[in-house]
Structure 1
């Protein structure tokens, strides 16, 4: 069965896609995982956020442990200036404090910044109910 990955950019697109996925999954709440990263630079293809660059391969290596039928949303939060604005929607509405952040949508479970460097924590987030 496997899992599905969806890439989004910006808050409005994230909210739309996350709501769609939650409706599709109905009672399987918590099977939508969101990874927040700084935007990738067009020339380098890497995020402006060094911690995001370090965490992404670790998170991706654990994706095979996602429960069947899960959705993994890769969300780019914007450029550095937008992210640093304390009034951006990610900080105001979702209460994000840093990138990278990996969370199980609809639950308080999340990993923030250096926690995303630890494959055992990422796997635990993906596999525990």
Structure 2
């Protein structure tokens, strides 16, 4: 059994809501091109990276949250003004980010 909780979302607003719901926890966010009805992403790099990311999840700590976020269709992703690019400063998919790391400066 996995030591982490997985949440799947689609779009920027759903992603931000999921992050807010898991405030205070270590969150791993994986951004991928959206999948079609057959479960295949338009992004070939995302298809190749997903099994590697999932293998790495076997090593995350108990109580972590993994958010799988579909960023939208290719034309939306390519728009430099989409929310993921403007607000999160993402430059590519796939992207894996870690939230919830506390830094203490003395």
TM-score by length of structure 1 reads 0.74
How far residue 60 of structure 1 moved from its aligned partner, in angstroms, is 0.6
Count of residue correspondences? 100
Structure with more strand by fraction: 2
Query: In the TM superposition, what is the alpha-carbon distance from 1:62 to its structure 2 partner?
Result: 1.2
> 2:32 maps to which residue?
37
Match runs of 1:29-108 below 5 Å? 31-43=26-38, 45-106=39-100
Root mean square deviation of aligned Cα: 1.3
Unaligned runs of 5+ in 1: 108-129
Cα distance in structure 2, aligned partners of 1:90 and 1:67: 27
Question: CA separation of 1:55/1:5 partners in 2, compared to 1, >3 Å: closer, same or farther?
Answer: same
Could you state the TM-score of these two structures normalised by the residue count of structure 2? 0.89
**Higher RCO by CA contacts (8 Å cutoff, separation 6 or greater):** 2
Which one has a larger percent helix, Structure 1 or Structure 2? Answer: 1
